[in-house]
Every structure is written in C-alpha cells, then in structure tokens.
A and B are shown apart, each in its own frame.
Chain A
C-alpha cells in the first residue's frame, strides 16, 4: 500500500520534482533561446571581440588584440590626430539630445490636446498620429528629400530669408537630420504621454487650481508630476533608437551630418575597417544598455516605473 516503503523512486522523484518540469521548460523555450543566442548574442559578442582586434590590410580583423580601434575613434590615425570621428560621436549625442527635447516640446501639448477631445475622436486622432510611422522609414525620409530639395517652396523661403545660399536645398544638412528625427519619433512620445494624460486624476488638478490659483503653478504641481512616467517612457523610446539612427542621417545628412550609425556602417562597406566599426557599435551598445539601466533606475524612483521602461 505504502508507496514510499515499496520503492524510494516516487519520493526521490518528487523531492527533485523540478527536473521533469525543467525539461518541459527547456523543451519549449530551447528553439527560440537557441535562435536568439546563435543569431544575435553570439554575433554581438563576436562584434565586441572584433572591436579589440587589429585592422588587417584588406579590412578584415586580425590578431593581436589592441585598442587601436578606440584610438582611431578618438581621432588618432595614420596621419596624426584629426577630430572627424570624435565630431561624429559628439554630433550623434547632440542630435539625440536636440531631437528628444524638441519631440517632447511638440508631443506634450499634442498628447494633452488629444486627451481633452471627445471619447469617440481620440482613437482616430491617435491613429492619425501613428499612421505615418507605419510607412517605411526610407519612404518617409524620401518624402522629406522631396520637400527640402532645391526649388521647393520651403527651400525658396529659406533662401529668401538668407538662411541658405542660392540654388541650395535645405538638405543635406544637420537641420534636415534633426527634422527627420523629430518626424520619425514623434508618435513614440505622443503615445506614452497620451496614456499618462488619460489616467490623469482631474480631481487633483481641480484641487490644485483651488490651492495655487495660477494655472502655471497648478500645472507644475498637479499635472506635470503625473505625466512624468509617460515622459520617461517616451524618452526611452525616442532617445535610444535616435542615437543609433542610420537611415535618416544617411539620406538627409550627407557627409557633414554623419552620425555614429553611419560611421559604423561605413567601416563595414566602403571604409573596410571592421575593428573601428565594431568599436563604434560597442559604444552604441553601451549607450543603449546604460540608457535603459538609468531609465529603469529613475522609473523605479518614480514608482511603478517598471512597466514604463519595458
């Protein structure tokens, strides 16, 4: 009757009852895990490794290990020091900062306005904001090329104001890249901000209107803190991909408005300096994960920020 006295097996099995369970877990997640590990984690690790190798005569990475690539990134090349790469790095940071800031300035009133509209209109308005981002990013950049090229009304107006020389277009330029970044990432800021506005506790706002009287102070004390989590989520969704942007600076920027993504890509095609490209990619990875980590920290301090970040 008693199982345990007949054979120790069931008892043994149950005390280690994790093992068939673990087998089930592995069986179900193994293909996907293997896929991501083999085709993303391993290649990334390989790339990180390449960043510490030496550039060979034909552009392929070689031994010995060195920090050459990082030195080149800082501007030390065969012909002495030149700031080109360093400028690209700084420009990427600057563009990310400016574009994120401007996107916030535009998205904030937009999200607020949508949240004040009638219930039936809101989904349509949100869709209207999001639909352009469903089109391919190459096509979107191409649309801006059409708008900013020489002879178009926008370029003519800029010429009349003396902002650009005659017969010039507004692209390629840093300005066009900023514009393209704002255009590209606007929906990613509007959506989380809208979500924050929709959850806004209006009773608190009314109370603040009573207490502070001035609308500006009421906004600052009652509304703004409640939208911080949305703002944080939007900042993550905008700044991290903006820093790694490739298509927009490539099409709208030209050589003088290059960003880190272009520098990296060039080393693997025309430039053929894999270690240098890999070093740039490593910086991008560090920025991405560092940024995510920092936002997570801030998000946790804000409270309930965990779902905000991811």
Chain B
C-alpha cells in the first residue's frame, strides 16, 4: 500500500501557490446533453465542476464524448440541453469568438497563409489590441515558449514539435480564462511527447491558468493532471485526482481503462470473504449493506510473490506462465486456480522466477477491492 501515500488529499482543491489564479476561470457544467443528427448521443447529462487554476483532464476512449465536451467549452458546438458557466458567467449561448477561452487543436490548425509571428498575433489582432502591446506580448510569449528564432518562418517549414509549441503560444498569448487542449501531443513521437508533457505541466503551474486537457492515454493523463474525469458513452464515470482514479476506480470500465487487468467476477460475499474464480479472499472491511455482486480488483503491483505467504495476507498457489523483464520492474503472468493473474514486481534485486516455478502469491486484504461491474 505504498503507492497510495501521495500527499494530495482528494477532498481539497489542488494547492496552487501562484497569486495569478483568477476565480473567473472556474467552470460549471450542468446537465449537458448533446445529440448529433442521426440520433448519436455524444453527451448524456454531464455535471462537472472544474476549479480555477487546475489542470483538468478529460480521459476516455474515442467516441466517449470527451472531444464534444471540449468543443462545447470552446463554443464550437451548442448543447441540446443544460448550461455552461465560466467564471460565474453563463456562456451557454455565447459564440466562440466572444468567449475568453482558447483551444490548442489536435491538428494545431496554424494558418498556412501567415508567418509564425502573425499566427501568434492573430487572436490579439482580432481582439483589437494596439500594435505596440501586441508586439510586446508576442515577443514575451515567444521568449516564454523559447521559439524566438522561428518568428519569421512560414508555418509549413516547421516540425511537429515546433508547430505544437506555436499552437500553444498562439492560444496562451491571448491570456484566456481557460485553455483547452485537444490531444495536442498525439501526433508526436514518444520521446518528444514525454518532454512536452512535462513542459505543458510546468507552463500551467507557472501561469496558474485553468487547463482542460483531452486525451485517450491514461499515462499522459496521470502524469499531467490535478484531476481526471473518465468518460464513457457520453457519461462521466468518475472524477478525481490521478491516484484516486487509479487506485479506487469506481467500476470495471474505469479500472480497465486505467490499465488494470486483474478483474474477477464476484460469485459471492460473506462478511469479509469474497468468492471469485481465484478462490476465497479476505477483504479489509465488510461490504456496505445493500451492495452485492460486482467485480473484484487486484492491482498487479500489490501482489507479492515468494516461497511463503506473508503474515496477515491472503495466500494463493500460483505457477509462473510468462515472464517479461522490463528493467525497473518484472512482470509475471501467473496461473492461479486455472485463472490468469498478472503481477508486477519492482526490480529490487530479488530473485527472478522462471517459467514453470511454483510460488506463493500474497495479497493484503486491504488490496482486495470490490468495484461495480
């Protein structure tokens, strides 16, 4: 249970010591519905509070409605029902060009007929900011994002990473209340992606601006976000800080989406004993009254392997079926009672088990979690 010892308390808003946080940037969504022609339901009653100055991520598979939700925030789509408030002001009916919200698009959408400089200055120009101030702010953001030497280039001469930075600069320079990011890193290769994830997070913390980030990559979401909302079929499944969503997923969908594989249908619960295909396992506390059935989740990194069962743990007999060596950790595919069970051990220099080894599997009652199907 070491993984849950993150200091952030889920009940408290994320700590931001930056003074520039504006209350104007808090977002409230009430009962948002969006249907497209042909009866496709994109959003089916979304209620959500996004706090001022937080890095908030909408996470879900493609078609879950996360992009539609972002487009509603931007004003590029109108909801069929419900209301949307930004900074206490109802903007449900406000067209995009009158909202203090900017978007970093997945394709970046840089204007091909303009130079980098003019792309960045576009929003300020449309807002009627005087030329002198416009120049100052473009220079400032160019220094901030470190792309000073690119300003006079044409957009089609830039690499993917440079385009991403310019799209970000073009949005940030307008100093919006909320910045929306629609999978802005999905077109980049893995190395650059990791680097820009860190940069984006730093930028957000430094500016104290509210970021709403859309992605289908749960790792990316966990690395960057203060809080995550997991969506499926147009409904928000769970909202919370990364550790909470990861460690206490509310249902099997969220669990699977967060990367969990050890999910077993519950056949019966008696007091603190839960019966699944794996066998009978003890839980930490009895189930709340009125709840039954569901799915048992065991995170693969909490499973301990050894010659004996640890004191106070559930013990199971397993056979190693496959071993994947990943350097910092070792993944084992085990078979327990004819069921596959994945276990991940940190590489602390302990002995490696070989395929075919018979071992004892120890699971602490606290790590036997029941969730909704």
Interface, chain A (partner B; CB < 8 A): 1-4, 10-11, 14-15, 17
Contacts and interface: CB of A to CB of B under 8 A. Distances in A.
B30 A2 contact: yes
A11 B35 CA distance: 12
B93 to A, nearest CB: 7
A1 B49 CA distance: 14
Counting chain B residues whose Cβ lies within 8 A of the other chain, the interface size class is 10 to 19
B85 to A, nearest CB: 8
Given A4-B82, A15-B80, A17-B78, 13 more contacts: A1-B30, A1-B83, A1-B85, A2-B30, A2-B31, A2-B83, A3-B81, A3-B92, A4-B81, A10-B93, A11-B80, A11-B81, A14-B78
6 contacts: A1-B85, A2-B30, A11-B81, A14-B78, A14-B79, A14-B81
Nearest to B84: A3
A157 B40 CA distance: 76
A2 B92 CA distance: 10
Contacts of A2: 30-31, 82-83
- A-B pairs with the 8 shortest C-beta distances? A3-B83, A14-B80, A4-B81, A1-B30, A1-B83, A3-B92, A2-B83, A2-B30
Nearest to A11: B81
Interface string B53-84: 00000000000000000000000001111110
Interface string B330-373: 00000000000000000000000000000000000000000000
Nearest to B31: A2
A3 B78 contact: no
A10 B92 contact: yes
Interface of B: 30-31, 78-83, 85, 92-93
B33 to A, nearest CB: 9
A56 to B, nearest CB: 55
A11 B79 CA distance: 9
A304 B85 CA distance: 50
Nearest to A6: B83
Contacts of B92: 3, 10
> Which among A1, A2, A3 has the highest number of chain B CB atoms within 10 Å?
A3
B218 to A, nearest CB: 32
A186 to B, nearest CB: 39
Contacts of A1: 30, 83, 85
A20 to B, nearest CB: 10
A7 to B, nearest CB: 11
A14 B31 CA distance: 16
Contacts of B93: 10
Contacts of B79: 14
A4 B92 CA distance: 11
Contacts of B81: 3-4, 11, 14
A17 B79 CA distance: 11
Contacts of B80: 11, 14-15
Nearest to A18: B37
B68 to A, nearest CB: 14
Contacts of B30: 1-2
Contacts of A15: 80
A79 to B, nearest CB: 65
A208 B82 CA distance: 65
A254 to B, nearest CB: 56
A11 B80 CA distance: 6
B51 to A, nearest CB: 18
B56 to A, nearest CB: 20
A107 B105 CA distance: 49
Contacts of A14: 78-81
Interface centre among B78, B83, B93 (most CB of A within 10 A): B83
Nearest to B80: A14
A1 B80 CA distance: 15
Contacts of A11: 80-81
A3 B93 CA distance: 10
B50 to A, nearest CB: 16
A3 B79 CA distance: 10
Contacts of B85: 1
Nearest to A14: B80
Nearest to A9: B93
